[in-house]
Structure 1
Amino acid sequence: MAQLSPMMTQYLQIHEEVPDALLFFRLGDFYEMFFDDALKASRELEIALTGRDCGLEERAPMCGVPYHAAQNYITRLVEKGYKVAICEQMEDPKDAKGIVKRGIVRVISPGTISEGTLLESKKNNYLMSLYLENNRLGIASIDVSTGDFYVTEIEGKTPELWLSQLADEIGKMLPAEVILNPALFKQPQALELIEKKFGILASLYPEKYFNIKSCSERITTQFEVFSLGALDLEKRDHAIAAAGGLLGYIDETQRRALNHIKTIRYYKSRDFMVLDLSTRRNLELTETIRTLEKKGSLLWVLDKTVTAMGGRTLRRWLEAPLIKTANILERQGSVQEFYDHASRLPEFKTILTKVYDLERLCAKISFGTANPRDLLALKQSLGALPLINAFLASLKAEKLASLYDQDELLEDVWTLIEKAIDDNAPLVIKEGNVVKTGYNDEVDTYREASEKGQDWIRDLECREREKSGIKSLKIKYNRVFGYFLEVTKSYLDQVPEDYIRKQTLANAERYFTPELKAMENKILGAQEGLLRCETQVFQEIRETLLAEIQRIQKKATEVAELDAIYSLATVALQNHYVRPEISSEKSIDIKNGRHPVVEAFIGESHFIGNDCLLNDDDQQMMIITGPNMAGKSTFIRQVAVIVLMAQIGSFIPADAGTISVVDRIFTRVGASDDLASGQSTFMVEMTEVANILKNATDQSLVILDEIGRGTSTFDGISIAWAVVEHLWDKAAIGAKTLFATHYHELTELETLKPGIKNYSISLKETPDGVIFLRKIKPGSVDQSYGIEVAKLAGFPSPVTKRAQEILKHLEAGENTYRENLIVADPPILTERKASQLNFFEMAKGISPEEEAALGTIRDLNIDEMSPIEVMNVIYHLREKI
């Protein structure tokens, strides 16, 4: 440091405040980066890498971006997962004595973005804080761009249990960034979950910021309450630590007021349907599995919202379905009132198109970044409130009216902006003409002086043209030379003697006169005064609006809910959905149900609907057999999706439906390796099934598609059979279950376990192959028709013919095994009997040490052991042997 130049010393000292960020260091009109930051930025942004003398023998690597274009570069870096610290000049270089004072004004990271192209309009951008102590977790999530703030606690006796719950919460909120206290940061499983499984930026945050006392003070100060009890946080120390630490992190990185964060909501996971990550993915709630796009997801079908706020609200509803019957019925009733006035919905949509994103406008006002156009957008949005009022009044819809405070229309806020801000105000204040004439006397005075000065300039130009006889003479202005008289070279012999040369051009000369210079000073003085005055008045207006943020946010919430309900009603009308009955009879009875997403692609007229009945008595479980591509997976998924839709208050794609509330939906669908963690397809499958067996209840809905296929046939059948029995057993779980399988052996369970019923997919065999009828019927099938599916997939004819020959031999059970590997007939399984070796039979005649090891193995309680415990036992046995 002693050898470095003063400016580079300053750079490194400031960088020490944010060691994990790229430092954008303001030097004149550029943000510069040096050393490692420059190497990273030049690579990521594909900009030139240069060097700068820094006092050392070697020049410091350097790269930079123009300050006026910095936002685009910052966005690209944040999108790649970097944090960017903005370091500004804190004083005018002209006034500086020595090195210009500089300081960090903001740290931008994936979770702290408040505006820009990285923000999706209909999706929240959460920053999450996690605080772990004694196997209990506090979880706080905030969207800085809207002010939404949620907090909860989870607990598990072991890390495995709380990690599972944490995965559910992360899957629900999908934060862009997570901060962790040291105790959690030291848990490798937690980091693997956050960074590898979810791909989220995770950062360590010092323990001192999670101190309960300071966190409590931070929360009560932020929300202006006397005690934490007013926020439902009393005696919730982990939630307090997470929420207080999160506020501290935002304050430290944003370094500006958080006036738009006015509410904090404590929730319990049991207040909503629990959906684990596997279920969210398999049901494709908000994005598809393959493309990770919204199109093709359930949200894509349901989202007909007009406003960004409504879109975010609907997404939150879908991520956290209701489980209290009264709440479901309340929302259903609101949807029904819109549904009953179908002809009026286009009118309501037209009104909503006038409403901008009020929540994010509030954030801009709070951060002091709202520009004149933002205030005009706010005015237009508030202007729509009386129209919404009148519309709801004309419907005479009680439930919808109860969501909307008809006495609070924010007329005073609308009037302020209407009187103060010019309707044609520019995007940037310094362009002028922001404040309306008549609103502020000082602004009017400066504006009049500026406008009269322009009139004087025009008069002077006419007089000088007539006096000199120079027809091309013009008075012009630029920021460098001010006002000047410009004369083309063909008229230079006519220039009056009192003109003073100012600048020579290729084709003209520029002059000024004492009179023009005097007026220039007056005009520029008026323009500077006008800009200064308009800026001050605009800031005062913004401060006034800041005091009204909570009122605006409340109205934004009301409009957002109306928009989300409008969306559900619109989808129901367009797609002929029906209102389901929410029952307490513990049954799911769907008549002619349809999958909403598949139907959206192929059309309602082409979709074959199916019934589904599940109850606690004679049909607790359906085992569904049938060929691939016949529709088994679509059927079981659509049942889960319909139940979920019913529990967000939506109508459902069916002719009729009676739905009993479920506490959780579990799915085990499809097959995929988890290469990042070294897990095979079968291991992933078994892990997901284990999660279901540990957490499902008699109030749950379980969807299983082809479990046990990743191992030998006999192992797979055994596992599948045992899983079915355990789910069926009311003493163990007793969950309502749909099980699609190719293991036809499982159909025997119908005769063994009351409440298990066999179903299959109808098909029609023809000389040219099979036709899938897509209809579920009672009974089972004993064929999979795999070769027929291969034909449909486009297999070459010789391959499918050879497959049919092989199948005939296998079914015939003939012993045609040959030593020659290239045979006309394939090897045959003559007996359906496992040929696995008996480990303990082989052990006769072994040493005492080996006999002791086998005894240890016999006594192991495998069901109660974790994989790592088993590995440790094996390691010690190997050492003994």
Structure 2
Amino acid sequence: MNTEAALGAPEAMQGELTPMLTQYRDLCARYDDSLVLFQVGDFYETFCDAAEVTARVCEITLTKREDSTGRYPMAGIPVDNAEGYIETLLDAGFRVAVADQVEEPEEATGPVERAVTRVVTPGTLTEAELLGGDENNFVAALVEGEEGYGLAMLDVSTGDFYATGTTDAATLRDEAGRFDPAEAVVGPDVSVPEAREVFGGDCMVTPYDAGAFGFDRAHERVSDYFGRPETLLASPAEIRACGALLAYAEYARGTTDEGERDRLDYLTHLTRYDPREYMLLDAVALRSLELFERRSVHGATGTALVDVLDETACALGRRRLHDWLRRPLLDTDEIRARQGAVEELVGDLSTREFLHERLHDVYDVERLIARISRGRGNARDLRSLHDTLAVVPALREALAGAESDRLRDLHERLDPLEDVRETIDEAVAEDPPIELTEGGVVREGYDERLDELRQTEREGKRWIDSLEAEERERTGVDSLKVGFNQVHGYYIEVTKANTDRVPEDYQRRQTLKNSERYYTPELKEREDEIVRAEGRADDLEYELFREVRAAVGDETERVQRVADAVAELDTLVSLATVAAEHDYCRPEVGETDSVHVERGRHPVVERTQQSFVPNDAHLPREAPVTVLTGPNMSGKSTYMRQVALVCVLAQIGSFVPAASARLPVLDRIFTRVGASDDIAGGRSTFMVEMDELAGILQHASEDSLVLLDEVGRGTSTADGFAIARAVTEHLHDETEAFTLFATHHHDLTAVADSLPRARNRHFSATREGGSVTFDHDVREGPATASYGVDVARMAGVPDSVVERARALLGPEEASNGHSASDVEPATNGHHAPDELLERLREVDIGNTTPVEALNTLAALKRRAEERE
């Protein structure tokens, strides 16, 4: 949060404050963590230091106001265009408290009453203009108690509410990274720096009312919404986190007095989950596998996994797809239920296309009903809800003959809500205006009283429309006009050249430069009649609309159930579309304890390249560790990621890009891929790598998949190889996790040969003439060189540097670069045993155990046989 001092309270002013500034000061004191936007007519004003901040951040004019208090800075933004400026203030790190006029100026006996109607923060956005996308926008609350941590996450715009608990700080960070909240609040038992370690630097973290985190108050608040917390949540810490988060959401709505707080009635579900119920993908894995993050390469924005899977038709499906990717399943029954639905939709093109087309007509019902329930929905929101519900019968009919259990279940859950739809249709005009208080919102025929008032208004306006022609004929003045303005009402305008022809019953209303404006007693009577009817009609129409909106809001839980079903259906249709159009197969999940993928493909890379070479992946339980070698740029990193992504897709219930796949249920995927540093945190690339490696070795299990790419690069060759070897042996002997270890430490292949449950694989290349071509093809056995000099030449390094590098390698090393076992010669040739000789020279006989000597000899013998 931005902590600039003196955000609003005008203590610097001299003398007694005016009543209006007293209001402003009191609101600033009450919302002392926010910048208060104070409505004065058509503008939201800020004063004193807050005005200087607002003017600088929003790049608007800083003015001066002078009254009995003195002369002080003032800056304002228009009420009708406030959202854009509020977004700018949010981006600058401020909370914004919006203080609206809650009393009509003409009804006020003193200063117009104002109240904070909403507190806008990064995690409590509900306005479509500020949300900016379909993804969830979470605010979190974190508690630490004797029994461990309690973590709650709420999307205020949709009502999605989750809670979990853990005793492990690493798991806590992983769960926070899974939901990636925009904002977090903490109580007295968690410091802001500690919370920032959990939520990351992009999350706004601030302390909130310590009392709201107290157990008794939190327990009462959760009970008020969901019933006894003990039946939903697993610990006092979780109850405290949920209660405090509810209090914060109410605070953001603008409520201030405990006794007058306004419930968020659209919060109807609280989902408590155990982190162990889902495959865990921590922040490092999410980033490395590029599930959501679109990396930029050479200035061009890349493609994330969610992009290639997203054939959803509506916002509900897009959010659900993101949720499934954040939390892959461990329950094989649920996985197979989703797969069965996807398989049926893959095989039924006409139904799939029909559903996809109709789902395009679905609005963001979760956010619509949230706004409606909060009393912020307008007439267009109600019509959008109506139009969405009108689609449901067609969706339901399309699933009437479904065979899979999941699609049959969705057929039952798709309640058309005819009563809700009819209520809206009977009351709300088909194409209503945005404004609720200016008429045209309620359908004609809905209310007899309103119809009579509107008829009176229309008859009066028709009389006025005919008045101009009648008065022209009566006076003989062809230029005579009848008009209206907000200040003077209806008038008859006559140019000054014709004022001598004005009848006696004309009474002067206004004098202009070139004309005079008049009214007649009859015109004034009609005007009063129209104004009375129009005002009463507008007030009645607004009250009728509020009644309809409240009635629809009472059905929030039913609407949310339909939205849930539509979201799941849209996601399943999307997965089926991708599977059908890109030749994915249904994987067998949970029926094996080994990873077997035939002709697997990277789901993102295959879309961005003209040709992609499929590869098998076999990690049997009896040999779960694979050391992967091969030239630079040959595809090792892509291969490892594609294996991981196939497993992720399988466990969300999707088909996978492969000819066939038999997969275990993985509890977690770990990645140590790529180089990064943490300059702000004082950590080098090597230190970041070791931190990530430590987390893997501490938490991986035999049901985990571990991807390691070039462990030990940031130190000396000897240290790097020692670390790589020790890690390989630990994963082999202790962890027994499925492991893909890509390396340029070629000595590591000998280690793999010496381990009974490890194997070597390599990426092949073909040499023709003086160039090397990467085949992107995985083969048995180890590579014998990385061909770094060749890659340097291909990248455009000057020939003089390339040749000097070859010379520095020496004849034996350079020869290796041209005769390695992973390079297939274009013509038959002789492979000199330079590498074997070099390996023999490196053996330290005096410090080699008999077992190590036998292992080394076996490895050399096998390589010699490969050269025959």
Q: Distance in 1 between matches of 2:412 and 2:64?
A: 61
1:45–1:593 Cα change, 3 Å: same
Cα shift at 1:334: 1.1
Which residue is equivalent to 2:223? Answer: 220
1:404-457 Cα shifts (integer Å, max 9, x gaps): 326731000111111111112111123311111111011111011011112211
Cα shift at 1:369: 1.2
1:637-656 Cα shifts (integer Å, max 9, x gaps): 10001001000000000111
Choose the corresponding residue for 1:601, options 598, 608, 619.
Answer: 608
**Aligned AA (2:202):** G
1:297-317 Cα shifts (integer Å, max 9, x gaps): 000011111110110001000
Q: Distance in 1 between matches of 2:400 and 2:792?
A: 60
Which residue is equivalent to 2:25? Answer: 12
Choose the corresponding residue for 1:22, options 19, 29, 35.
Answer: 35
1:480–1:96 Cα change, 3 Å: closer
Unaligned runs of 5+ in 2: 1-10, 256-261, 816-839, 845-868
Q: Distance in 2 between matches of 1:626 and 1:724?
A: 18
Which residue is equivalent to 1:656? Answer: 660
Matched-pair contact (CA < 8 Å) for 2:396–2:414: no
Which residue is equivalent to 2:490? Answer: 483
Which residue is equivalent to 1:284? Answer: 290
1:205 aligns to 2:208 (yes or no): yes
Q: Distance in 2 between matches of 1:811 and 1:595?
A: 34
Q: Distance in 2 between matches of 1:468 and 1:668?
A: 91
1:531–1:56 Cα change, 3 Å: closer
Matched-pair contact (CA < 8 Å) for 2:392–2:414: no
Q: Distance in 2 between matches of 1:649 and 1:294?
A: 28
Q: Distance in 2 between matches of 1:304 and 1:295?
A: 18
Cα shift at 1:833: 11
**Aligned AA (1:535):** Y
Q: Distance in 2 between matches of 1:205 and 1:406?
A: 39
Matched-pair contact (CA < 8 Å) for 1:301–1:596: yes
Q: Distance in 2 between matches of 1:647 and 1:504?
A: 79
1:381 aligns to 2:388 (yes or no): yes
TM-score scaled to structure 1, two decimals? Answer: 0.88
Q: Distance in 2 between matches of 1:407 and 1:776?
A: 48
**Aligned AA (1:183):** D
1:812–1:295 Cα change, 3 Å: closer
Report the secondary structure of 2:437's partner residue.
helix
RMSD: 2.3
- State the identity %: 41
Greater mean alpha carbon deviation, residues 628-637 or residues 338-347: 338-347
1:47–1:810 Cα change, 3 Å: farther
Map of 1:329-348 to 2, 5 A cutoff? Answer: 329-348=336-355
Matched-pair contact (CA < 8 Å) for 2:95–2:121: yes
Report the secondary structure of 1:662's partner residue.
coil
1:369–1:211 Cα change, 3 Å: same
Report the secondary structure of 1:378's partner residue.
helix
Matched-pair contact (CA < 8 Å) for 1:281–1:289: no
Which residue is equivalent to 1:444? Answer: 451
1:424–1:521 Cα change, 3 Å: same
Matched-pair contact (CA < 8 Å) for 1:622–1:739: yes
Choose the corresponding residue for 1:762, options 764, 767, 784.
Answer: 764
1:73 aligns to 2:85 (yes or no): yes
Cα shift at 1:727: 0.4
Choose the corresponding residue for 2:634, options 626, 630, 634.
Answer: 630
Q: Distance in 2 between matches of 1:596 and 1:423?
A: 44
1:63 aligns to 2:66 (yes or no): no
Matched-pair contact (CA < 8 Å) for 1:614–1:621: yes
Matched-pair contact (CA < 8 Å) for 1:310–1:562: yes
Q: Distance in 1 between matches of 2:536 and 2:194?
A: 61
Q: Distance in 1 between matches of 2:130 and 2:110?
A: 39
Report the secondary structure of 2:178's partner residue.
helix
1:293–1:353 Cα change, 3 Å: farther
1:544 aligns to 2:545 (yes or no): no
Matched-pair contact (CA < 8 Å) for 2:340–2:404: no
Map of 1:358-757 to 2, 5 A cutoff? Answer: 358-405=365-412, 408-489=415-496, 491-603=498-610, 606-617=611-622, 619-729=623-733, 732-757=734-759
Which residue is equivalent to 1:236? Answer: 235
Cα shift at 1:209: 1.0
Q: Distance in 2 between matches of 1:262 and 1:114?
A: 17
1:67–1:118 Cα change, 3 Å: closer
Q: Distance in 1 between matches of 2:354 and 2:495?
A: 61
Map of 1:91-106 to 2, 5 A cutoff? Answer: 91-106=103-118
Q: Distance in 1 between matches of 2:101 and 2:132?
A: 32
1:619-658 Cα shifts (integer Å, max 9, x gaps): 3111111111110100011000100100000000011100
Report the secondary structure of 1:759's partner residue.
strand
**Aligned AA (1:798):** S
**Aligned AA (1:168):** D
Report the secondary structure of 1:635's partner residue.
helix
Q: Distance in 2 between matches of 1:716 and 1:91?
A: 72
Q: Distance in 2 between matches of 1:812 and 1:63?
A: 71
1:328 aligns to 2:335 (yes or no): yes
Matched-pair contact (CA < 8 Å) for 2:414–2:566: no
1:698–1:529 Cα change, 3 Å: same
Report the secondary structure of 2:225's partner residue.
helix
Choose the corresponding residue for 1:190, options 190, 195, 198.
Answer: 195
Report the secondary structure of 2:74's partner residue.
strand
Cα shift at 1:589: 0.3
Q: Distance in 2 between matches of 1:341 and 1:29?
A: 56
Which residue is equivalent to 1:802? Answer: 804
Matched-pair contact (CA < 8 Å) for 2:753–2:760: no
1:41 aligns to 2:54 (yes or no): yes
Cα shift at 1:25: 1.5
Q: Distance in 2 between matches of 1:392 and 1:403?
A: 8
Cα shift at 1:338: 0.9
1:56–1:371 Cα change, 3 Å: closer
Q: Distance in 1 between matches of 2:219 and 2:147?
A: 21
Q: Distance in 2 between matches of 1:809 and 1:678?
A: 42
**Aligned AA (2:751):** L
Unaligned runs of 5+ in 1: 157-161, 814-829, 835-881
Matched-pair contact (CA < 8 Å) for 2:414–2:565: no
Cα shift at 1:198: 3.6
Q: Distance in 2 between matches of 1:404 and 1:42?
A: 55
Matched-pair contact (CA < 8 Å) for 1:4–1:54: no
Which residue is equivalent to 1:846? Answer: none
Matched-pair contact (CA < 8 Å) for 1:593–1:653: yes
Q: Distance in 2 between matches of 1:631 and 1:212?
A: 54
**Aligned AA (1:268):** D
Matched-pair contact (CA < 8 Å) for 2:150–2:165: yes
1:19–1:745 Cα change, 3 Å: same
**Aligned AA (1:240):** I
1:168 aligns to 2:174 (yes or no): yes
1:802–1:56 Cα change, 3 Å: farther
